[in-house]
Amino acid sequence: MTTAGEKEKNQRVPIYTARTGSVDLVEKVIRTDNEWRLLLSPEEFRVARKKGTEAPFTGAYHDCKEHGIYQCACCGTDLFSSDSKFDSGTGWPSFWDPIAEGNISTSTDYELGYPRTEVLCRRCDAHLGHVFDDGPPPTNKRYCMNSAALRLARPTE
């Protein structure tokens, strides 16, 4: 007999990988809070697993100009390219487009008493930040992310 938790652990999701340029079905990453605590720093856990927010202008990537792929700090899924990064002036790393729509999911969040669109990693459900409709063309979107939920994979030379 298979339990609901086992079914969820065996769930597969299509994820795009920038390095190969392909979409593969990969296992959803499901861990307990204790397992995540062993893998993440306290700040990464607070932000990515408990839907926290880092203070503006304090994250490692808010003014980063390096090229590469921003990946999920929890599971390594490719999320954003530095090519879509822009300075929004908000103090958080901002992007006008994800690397692949299928690598993220969204949810409505009422934490501040009004609706906002939360952005999550599709593979592990990590809280990444929020998306707003005040970004630059061509998408007019501002994916306002937390540095603590991201890791920058720099291209190999």
* Nearest alpha carbon to residue 19 among 98, 138, 99: 99
Check: CB of residue 21 under 8 Å from CB of residue 100: no
The two structure tokens encoding residue 101: 């729509």
Active site residues: 144
Instruction: Give the Cα separation of 22 and 24 in Å (integer).
Output: 6
Sign of CA dihedral 62, 104, 120, 32: negative
